[in-house]
Structure 1
């Protein structure tokens, strides 16, 4: 089982970006693929966030659907902005199954400054390659969303993300840190632009399995769900597994804090 993660520079037009990304995926993704992951704002120019035109949205979704079907893989489409019925923009990311059907969706508002907002729904999907959680944008960088997804059973986090903070090396390190603290594999996809620093990677609790750095292209890494399941087995001596990282909680220590909030 193999994970493919896209990382591409944003072009002068959304059409040019989409062509570069989709052509490269068609060329690089093999029949060994279990999951393909694209980034937040997958087909933008890197400038002001704008809604993709309907024809371009349909073209991108059609090609990603065809990729899922022909390779027999799950595809996290990345996100793109769409106009909400009441006005404003929302980022929409979809997880397609090997038949090309949508099996999960995450929507987040586009804030006035153009960044993506957070949410409180973190879908976990049972797939033929293990249980996966889907995260979009800044939700990944918060403590709770990855933890909630993992406590709900996610063995792999598919992240349509962006390395766009001022501390990008810290963000890069956090990808591995999140994998370790939650005993989970992470497939993180980012973009390259003046603002975005790439950083696409596949991380396991023990370390990075593959990294794109600031290179353009499609990286691939093996996916071993049985390894994650082994690491989550109870081990009260803390010698053989990472059980304590996900399950060894002391929730009673939060009593005073929650009492203050309420």
Structure 2
């Protein structure tokens, strides 16, 4: 299947898990009724983006009300759902984890954020995920009815090696649920998604929460799809919005034939190696 209808669910996230799950369900229903094939939720879609809330909202995978809800929705609507990310608890560790559900509601992949968001932009924003979160160690590739996809989370998009390894493993769409802020978003969000798409001649997709001015962390929003030519083909604003865009995976082959960047790499001189 070359053409895929992707739904970007840029939902408002509040300090109320039940309300967030209800909102996610509404976005998923609207997406399914618009014939979306693949639905994507934002990073930390069930939880305010705050270290103390990660701890408070953390769920174990085996008895997660959030994951059970998304599983039922995926099966009910017969769609793939990438459940943005949630704070996942395992023993005494907490992860920022994205789950991919197939059309039967089964989890077919999970990605634990590999690169934790520890930044300090002087006078503008400081955040240190590593105060409460543990980094994941696995590259996440999944096979779907639409081909192979790769999954990262937010800050992961800044690391070119991760995207290249996923592309070299055959991923044709790279998904990064994310929550850039009002400092890094305007400067880098679009640039990074266009760059990763262009670097690897793939589709690159980011889905963010809407801007909630009442929250302590102000998301940039602007959920986005960039194509293999590095063009933005769909993008939201900062407010709550559902964006549905059909992509054509045959564009990947066309672009790679016209501009054979990946073929022309000097593998005799350099390579990116997965350890």
TM-score, normalised to structure 2's length?
0.79
Q: How does 1:154-165 map to 2 (within 5 A)?
A: 154-164=171-181
* Residue correspondence of structure 1 range 1-262 to structure 2 within 5 A: 1-30=4-33, 32-47=35-50, 48=52, 49-52=54-57, 54=59, 58-85=64-91, 87-108=92-113, 113-114=128-129, 118-164=135-181, 166-169=183-186, 170-192=188-210, 193=212, 194-206=217-229, 207-233=231-257, 241-244=258-261, 246-254=262-270
Runs of 4+ with >3 A deviation:
53-59, 108-112, 115-120, 251-255
Deviation (angstroms), 1:72: 2.5
Q: Could you tell which deviates more after superposition, 30-39 or 3-12? A: 30-39
Q: What is the CA deviation profile of residues 191-222 of structure 1, one whole-angstrom value per residue up to 9, with x for unaligned ones?
A: 13433211211111231111012121221110
Q: Check the 8 A contact 2:154/2:180 in 1, yes or no.
A: no
Superposition deviation, residue 43 in structure 1: 1.0
1:168, 1:31 → 2: CA distance? 29
- Superposed CA RMSD in Å reads 2.8
State the TM-score, normalizing by the size of structure 1. 0.83
Gapped runs of 5+ residues in structure 2? 119-127
Q: Quick check: 2:14–2:20 contact (8 Å CA) kept in 1?
A: yes
Matched-pair contact (CA < 8 Å) for 2:32–2:79: no
Q: Which moved more, 1:45-54 or 1:197-206?
A: 45-54
Supply the distance in 1 between the matched residues of 2:24 and 2:74 (Cα, whole angstroms): 15
What residue ranges of structure 1 are gaps of 5+ in the alignment? 234-240
CA distance in 1, matches of 2:233, 2:220: 19
